[in-house]
Structure 1
Amino acid sequence: MSYKILTINPGSTSTKVGFFDGEELKFSANVSHDASKLAEFAGISDQLPYRKEIILAELEKAGVDLSTVDAFVGRGGGLLAVEGGTYEVNDVILDHARRGANGIQHPAQLGSQLANEFATQFNKPAFVVNPPDTDEFIIEARMTGIKGVYRDSHLHALNLKETAIRHSNLKGVKYEDKNYVVCHIGGGISISAHRKGKMIDGNDIVAGDGPMAPTRCGSVPAAQMIRYAYDHPDMKETLSLTTKTGGFVSHLGTSDALEVFNRAEAGDKEAKLIWDTMTYQIIRYIGSMAAVLHGEVDGILLGGGMVHNKKLVKDITDACSWIAEVTAYPGEFELEAMAAGAIRVLDGEEQAKQYTGEPCWRPES
């Protein structure tokens, strides 16, 4: 049976929506929201009626009949750590999404809320798939050399896992039977180790872990970071280096990866050094994830917007193909991943999971 699915992925100043008939994307739009209008709302969840109205107008203009939709899927922001999978939207999810129970305020919190609004109206199920706080780390991946300080799982889980699932399907194998190093290379960079269907290790993109990225500092020696913080006592400004003002922005004053690459190709020595450093660090982390998998790697998969850059893919391939075959999947599969997760549940291939509000791991466990 071919199910019709509507997917909703809210961002800072826009919301991506996709209408699927089976796995075929029939309509998609990146619905823009007026930044000055968004600024009028006290909190992210207060934006719900405004965003819903704008989305409905766009869908009506495109002739999308929501009464035909079999399930609604939203990005699962604001939740506590969960195992990967498809979760039915329930009251606990909605409560955690509204207040951002994970402590991170991000428009993705609106995903489950918007999906629930439509699902309630048309008496259909609502889901979230592989939320941002998907956490399948092994205990060794969590530990640090400071008692009471742990590494968290903050990665591009939705795209990472969907890339691995799609690659497996193309190869005629099961994701749950294979080991992969999967990368998302875009505004943020996630490098992750997947063992038999579980994402067991990766870099924390929220905490400044992993490779340098366009707006992110990446891993920095602890002592130097502590000294930097003492010299720059504005904590908010210092923390912004991890997600907003680090990486390309700190060195070159821009977050535009294409601009940096073109400057490097045109002979700008500083731009070339920063680009090459990012590439080097990506390769380093791929190697570390391969070691986590004991060298038993069935493929190295590259996704994200920067993977459209053929030189970047070639440089990574030249450095890492001795580990395993490197395959590029440019761009993102986030809308497709949400639709596919819902379809697996509707088809009976997977059972929808229930979000309890209890994190899948606590420090004392």
Structure 2
Amino acid sequence: MSTVLVLNSGSSSLKYQLVSPESGEALAVGLVEKIGEPQGILTHEVGDDETTRELPIPDHGEALRLVLGLFDEVGPSLEKAGVVAVGHRVVHGGTDYSQPTVIDDDVVAGIEALVPLAPLHNPANVTGIKVARELLDVPHVAVFDTAFFATLPEPAYTYAIDADVAKEHRIRRYGFHGTSHQYVSERVSQVLGRDDLKQIVLHLGNGASASAVTSGVAVDTSMGLTPLEGLVMGTRSGDLDPAIVFHLNRVAGLDVDQVDNLLNKQSGLKGIAGRNDMREVRSAAEAGDPAALLALAVYRHRLIKYVGAYAAVLGGIDVLTFTAGVGENSAPLRAEVVEALAFLGLAIDPAKNAVRSKEPRVVSPDGHQGPLVMVVPTNEELAIARQSMAAIA
């Protein structure tokens, strides 16, 4: 058996999975939280068995050492599991990296050079890479969130600002969640047995994004230079008038960092309804809370607008797919969005839509002749594992 250890390094966290690319099975799943805080938390799951440790975890190096120790202590043994590569999720690859890339010193330097484009994410990704390369003597592969959207046509990725300024500062649409959008759109094609589909994929989690994909190639996506643009999210505003930033500076006296914090961490569902968990917002709305009702309405409106726009970009639609935490689990949201899009020929079967499953499935009525609605669970870790294996083959 050959496996890949998939690492996702955040600023104060380290998520990991030991994955069999061939079977798709996750042999172990874990999370290290509160790195650098007085008391860190490490959770390691193997099947139904969970091991939790609370102790100081000063840095990512110690975090990974503890993780490797748990693999030795409670299993599965990385040596016996046949780890052949470590796959790293890297948020931003700019225009330099459009494929999974075997990591060497030059690649590390290249990812560091992209820090100005992703100051919240790439530094942590680089830290995880450096630590893992020191501790694990196998090939390391970077899989970039932006890579799937390297195919965007120029009109889709170009912002209408001064061309010289845009070129100098690398301002364009990059898109994010690309690993998920690629995995899900490929699964749709596999399930339906067609590779010529016009697809719209809605990745709806605490972060949310939409993509337009034709014959497996991405042609548009909602996130832009950063993950802030596009859909309403848990704590991010999504689309807004850029002049709001100037207004907040001039009238409210907010500086750049304060506006950044406002739009990325205090907006979206949280900004309107005071909570960013869709389940809590839905529950409050059902209890009649006006702010929660408004938040849901704004969230739906943005989704409906994007699906309509992408149907126009694609010149039609064959499949609308929901994925990620909210997309996979909120049957009411799926029903509401599809009902509003009935003019596109979309329809949903209430009984099918109510089923909870980890399998890809069509939730349109039997015999439906129009575009299909699907729910496809995403699996970014498996996608990273498989792309890492392909990169070292």
Query: Shorter-chain-normalised TM-score: which range?
Result: 0.7 to 0.9
Does 2:312 align with 1:300? Answer: no
Aligned in 2, Cα 1:274/1:96: closer, same or farther, shift over 3 Å?
Answer: same
Deviates more, 1:242-251 or 1:156-165: 242-251
Q: Find 1:190's aligned residue among 183, 202, 209.
A: 209
Residue of structure 1 in register with 2:376 after alignment: 329
Q: Find 2:156's aligned residue among 138, 141, 165.
A: 141
Aligned-partner residue type, residue 103 of structure 2: V
Aligned in 2, Cα 1:84/1:170: closer, same or farther, shift over 3 Å?
Answer: farther
Aligned-partner residue type, residue 217 of structure 2: K
Residue of structure 2 in register with 1:6 after alignment: 5
In 1, distance between residues paired with 2:116 and 2:151?
A: 16
Aligned-partner residue type, residue 210 of structure 2: I
Residue of structure 2 in register with 1:311 after alignment: 332
By how many angstroms is 1:225 displaced?
A: 4.5
- For the 8 Å contact 1:210–1:219, the answer to whether it is kept is yes
In 1, distance between residues paired with 2:157 and 2:78?
A: 43
Residue of structure 1 in register with 2:250 after alignment: 230
Residue aligned with 2:259, SS: helix
- For the 8 Å contact 1:89–1:112, the answer to whether it is kept is no
Residue of structure 2 in register with 1:170 after alignment: 191
- For the 8 Å contact 1:212–1:219, the answer to whether it is kept is yes
Aligned in 2, Cα 1:282/1:70: closer, same or farther, shift over 3 Å?
Answer: same
Residue of structure 2 in register with 1:279 after alignment: 300
Residue aligned with 1:144, SS: coil
By how many angstroms is 1:122 displaced?
A: 5.3
1:240-266 CA deviation, whole Å, 9 max, x = no partner?
Answer: 233211112222222222211110011
- For the 8 Å contact 2:100–2:387, the answer to whether it is kept is yes
By how many angstroms is 1:271 displaced?
A: 0.8
1:215-245 CA deviation, whole Å, 9 max, x = no partner?
Answer: 1112113444432332133111112233211
By how many angstroms is 1:6 displaced?
A: 1.1
In 2, distance between residues paired with 1:272 and 1:294?
A: 33
Residue of structure 1 in register with 2:14 after alignment: 15
Residue aligned with 2:109, SS: helix
In 2, distance between residues paired with 1:267 and 1:236?
A: 35
- For the 8 Å contact 1:19–1:27, the answer to whether it is kept is yes
- For the 8 Å contact 1:10–1:108, the answer to whether it is kept is no
Aligned in 2, Cα 1:164/1:207: closer, same or farther, shift over 3 Å?
Answer: closer
Residue of structure 2 in register with 1:52 after alignment: 64
Q: Cα RMSD between the aligned structures?
A: 2.8
- For the 8 Å contact 1:75–1:108, the answer to whether it is kept is no
- For the 8 Å contact 2:141–2:391, the answer to whether it is kept is no
Aligned in 2, Cα 1:106/1:164: closer, same or farther, shift over 3 Å?
Answer: same
Does 2:99 align with 1:85? Answer: yes
In 2, distance between residues paired with 1:136 and 1:230?
A: 39
Aligned length: 336
Aligned in 2, Cα 1:78/1:207: closer, same or farther, shift over 3 Å?
Answer: closer
Taking only the aligned residue pairs, the percentage that are identical comes to 21
Residue aligned with 1:70, SS: strand
- For the 8 Å contact 2:115–2:122, the answer to whether it is kept is no
1:320-359 CA deviation, whole Å, 9 max, x = no partner?
Answer: 36262121124x412111112123445x6xxxxxxxxxxx
Does 2:26 align with 1:25? Answer: yes
Aligned in 2, Cα 1:106/1:238: closer, same or farther, shift over 3 Å?
Answer: closer
Any gaps of 5 or more consecutive residues in structure 1? 40-45, 349-365
1:122-180 CA deviation, whole Å, 9 max, x = no partner?
Answer: 54322122334653321111233433355421321111111112222222344xx4332
Aligned in 2, Cα 1:195/1:286: closer, same or farther, shift over 3 Å?
Answer: same
TM-score (norm 1): 0.81
Aligned in 2, Cα 1:200/1:328: closer, same or farther, shift over 3 Å?
Answer: same
By how many angstroms is 1:185 displaced?
A: 0.7
Rg (Cα) greater in structure: 2
Residue aligned with 2:206, SS: coil
In 1, distance between residues paired with 2:65 and 2:120?
A: 20
Aligned-partner residue type, residue 26 of structure 2: L
Residue of structure 2 in register with 1:105 after alignment: 119
Deviates more, 1:122-131 or 1:209-218: 122-131
Q: Find 1:62's aligned residue among 74, 88, 96.
A: 74
1:269-293 CA deviation, whole Å, 9 max, x = no partner?
Answer: 2211111210111111111112111
Aligned in 2, Cα 1:232/1:207: closer, same or farther, shift over 3 Å?
Answer: farther
Residue aligned with 2:150, SS: coil
1:163-216 CA deviation, whole Å, 9 max, x = no partner?
Answer: 112222222344xx4332112111121111123333221122636321221211
In 1, distance between residues paired with 2:95 and 2:264?
A: 20
Aligned in 2, Cα 1:221/1:119: closer, same or farther, shift over 3 Å?
Answer: closer
- For the 8 Å contact 1:115–1:127, the answer to whether it is kept is no
Residue of structure 2 in register with 1:43 after alignment: none
In 2, distance between residues paired with 1:17 and 1:223?
A: 40
